[in-house]
Amino acid sequence: MYDYDLLVIGSGPGGQKAAIAAAKLGKRVSIAERRDMMGGVCVNTGTIPSKTFREAVLYLTGFAQRDIYGASYRVKSEITIADLLARIRHVIGREVEVIRNQLLRNHVDILGGTARFEDPHTVVVGGSTRGEHVTVSSEKIVIATGTRPARPDEVEFDDDHIVDSDAVLRLQRIPSSLVVVGAGVIGIEYASMFAALGTKVTVVEKRPQMLEFCDPEVVESLKFHLRDHAVTFRFGEKVAKVEVAERGTVTSLASGKKIPADMVMYSAGRQGVTEELYLDKAGLSADARGRIAVDDDYRTEVGHIYAVGDVIGFPALAATAMDQGRLAAYHAFGEPAQQLRALQPIGIYTVPEISYCGKTEAELTESAVPYEVGMSRYRELARGAIVGDPYGMLKLLVSTEDRTLLGVHLFGSGATDLVHIGQTLMACGGTVDYLVDTVLNYPTLSEAYKVAALDATNKIRAVQTFGG
């Protein structure tokens, strides 16, 4: 007889949802987490702080209102790092409380400390002081230990002049100029937020482009917008070294260029947090990036041990981690469940934000699927004018064979929420005609769907009219 039916390691979105799902099935559940990290990277250093940082920046700078009130509009003229961090601390505190309460009211035991395997069914959870640890056994185990920022060996991080995305939340000041190394999602999100704050940002990326998985037109719009806010892009460039002096940093590129800046932020990928787990004692291993391999049901090579969330790799989103946790728990206890993997939405909280779901034009062209594009620009929507967003856009990709929706791509206000209309329609196998025929609230940004649907159907009709 084991102490628990399920032990979860890590209380990020994946771990939490696994624990709650199993508890709802009437199982005896515990969750191990380091004492100061309830809610995981998601709540403490990743999603929630960065999205709150963004919201604080947008509010205090008045950035989103400047198309209406003019370029000099500000809510607060001298914004300090304390103004931004105060809001973040408030939101983190609230979220931690909500999660702790959810776990406790579902009778999930919270074990404080770092967990490590003793054998495939036994885990030791160490407290912060020596000798303070518990040993527990469990029939099933879910590993949801997430990732941490990868720190290149040759870079001397000091949490002051050279930082990673975790250290952003410990900053002592808003940098007047910033080099962001790596134009992945996290790097480009922070680049756009600091640009909105008035920081002069240079993005250095070794690849020739950024966000290649997104619609190129959307990425072009983002680049145009960021350049307009004094962001400089250095694509296809490698950082050779970063020197720190009293007054700032100098980043030297392999091409010989030198970039002076107040601060350098590395966003060079993430590493699975698996070193402390003693995976070998459970018969498991991780790859060079600390990732654990799983099958379609999130089972590792040891049948009763599951892994979910960032520790299993792509897409490494809180949104997916939550569902993986729930599905792993359901699978572990024989509860039937369905997965909708093909329709995973992607949300990128740059300023302005990006979101999409379904196929891209490149994917459809590659697989020779005929489609038509329906476009809507926010500047032609009454709501776009009301909220002061003249740059937003929505693009629908519509099958010319059966008129189903194949993809939806958004840029601008509300993109990460609006995408779900297209996602739902695609999941239900709906056609573009639903969007043409349905009545939507007015004035809304959702109206973009109807405008884009009319655009796509008019183009399809034009082909038929021309005899194609």
Ligand X SMILES: Cc1cc2nc3c(=O)[nH]c(=O)nc-3n(C[C@H](O)[C@H](O)[C@H](O)COP(=O)(O)OP(=O)(O)OC[C@H]3O[C@@H](n4cnc5c(N)ncnc54)[C@H](O)[C@@H]3O)c2cc1C
Q: Which residues are annotated as a binding site?
A: 51, 182-189, 205, 269, 310
Distances (CA, A) of 148 to 47, 164, 170, 226, 237: 13, 10, 16, 27, 25
Establish if 51 lies at the interface with ligand X (CB under 6 A).
yes
Tell me the backbone φ, ψ of residue 42, rounded to 5 degrees. Answer: -50, -50
160 binds ligand X (CB under 6 A): no
DSSP secondary structure of 97-152: HHHHHHHHHTTPEEEESEEEEEETTEEEEE-SSTT-EEEEEEEEEEE---EEE---
Regarding 188 and contact with ligand X (CB under 6 A), the answer is no
Helix (H) / strand (E) containing 233: strand 231-235
Nearer Cβ to ligand X (103/396): 103
Decide: is 357 part of the binding site for ligand X (CB under 6 A).
Answer: no
* Cβ at position 334, least distance to ligand X in Å: 23
Q: Does 14 bind ligand X (CB under 6 A)?
A: yes
Q: Which is nearer to ligand X, 313 or 422 (CB)?
A: 313
CA 426 to chain centre: 22
123 binds ligand X, rule: CB under 6 A? no
8 Å CB contact between 6 and 19 = yes
C-alpha 311/C-alpha 141 separation (Å) is 14
Number of residues that bind ligand X (CB under 6 A): 39
DSSP secondary structure string for all residues of 8-53: EE--SHHHHHHHHHHHHTT--EEEEE-TT-TTHHHHHTSHHHHHHH
| From 5, 6, 34, 218, residue interacting with ligand X (rule: CB under 6 A) | 34
User: Is 145 an interacting residue with respect to ligand X (CB under 6 A)?
Assistant: yes
Which C-beta is closer to ligand X: that of 133 or that of 379?
133
Nearer to ligand X, 189 or 389 (CB): 189
**Position 9 contacts ligand X (CB under 6 A):** yes
124 binds ligand X (CB under 6 A): no
**345 is a contact residue toward ligand X (CB under 6 A):** no
State which residue, 32 or 415, has the beta carbon closest to ligand X: 32
In this structure, what DSSP letter does residue 332 have?
A: H
182 binds ligand X (CB under 6 A): no
- Choices 31-39, 58-66, 217-225, 257-265 (CB under 6 A): range interacting with ligand X: 31-39
Q: Is 199 in the site for ligand X (CB under 6 A)?
A: no
Question: Can you read off the two tokens belonging to residue 145?
Answer: 């230990």
Contacts of 462 (CB under 8 A, 6+ apart): none
Least distance in angstroms from the C-beta of 185 to ligand X: 7
Six token digits for residue 238: 């490698």
Q: What whole-number distance in Å separates Cα of residue 105 and Cα of residue 85?
A: 30
Q: Is 13 a binder of ligand X (CB under 6 A)? A: yes
Give the pairing of strands 109-112 and 29-33.
parallel
* Residue 126 or 384 having the CB closest to ligand X: 126
Report 311-330 residues binding ligand X (CB under 6 A).
311, 316-319, 321
User: By C-beta, is 202 or 320 nearer to ligand X?
Assistant: 320
What is d(CA 31, CA 123) in angstroms, rounded to the nearest whole number?
A: 11
Q: Does residue 349 bind ligand X (CB under 6 A)?
A: yes
Query: How crowded is the C-beta side of 39, counted as CA atoms within 13 Å?
Result: 21
- Under 8 Å CB-to-CB from 420, ≥6 apart: which residues? 345, 357
Applying CB under 6 A, which part among 46-54, 245-253, 331-339, 417-425 lies near ligand X? 46-54
What's the closest the beta carbon of residue 16 comes to ligand X, in angstroms? 7
Give 3-state DSSP helix, strand, coil % of the chain, rounded to 5. Answer: 40, 25, 35
Site string for ligand X, 262-291 (x = CB under 6 A): -----------x--xx--------------
Does the footprint of ligand X cover residue 175 (CB under 6 A)? no
Stretch that binds ligand X, among 67-75, 141-149, 423-431, 450-458 (CB under 6 A): 141-149
The CB-of-13 to ligand X minimum distance in angstroms stands at 5
Instruction: Compare residues 14 and 352 and give the one whose CB is closer to ligand X.
Output: 14
Task: Establish if 41 lies at the interface with ligand X (CB under 6 A).
Answer: yes
Task: Work out the angle between the directed axes of helices 81-105 and 47-61 (0-180°, nearest 10).
Answer: 140
165 binds ligand X (CB under 6 A): yes
Nearest Cα to 449, choosing from 406, 419, 417, 413? 419
The two structure tokens encoding residue 386: 């009301």
Q: Which two tokens stand for residue 158?
A: 């000091």
Q: Which residue is nearest to ligand X (CB)?
A: 146
Give min distance, CB of 101 to ligand X, in A. 17
Tell me: does residue 114 bind ligand X (CB under 6 A). Answer: yes
Binding flag, residue 99, ligand X (CB under 6 A): no
From candidates 4, 6, 23, 46, binder to ligand X by CB under 6 A: 46
Buried b (16+ CB within 10 A) or exposed e, 161-195: bbbbbbbbbebeebbebbbbbbbbbbbbbbbbbbb
DSSP letter assigned to residue 65 = G
Examine residue 20 and tell whether it contacts ligand X (CB under 6 A).
no
- Sites of contact with ligand X (CB under 6 A): 9-15, 32-34, 37, 40-42, 46-47, 50-51, 114-115, 144-147, 165, 186, 273, 276-277, 309-311, 316-319, 321, 347, 349
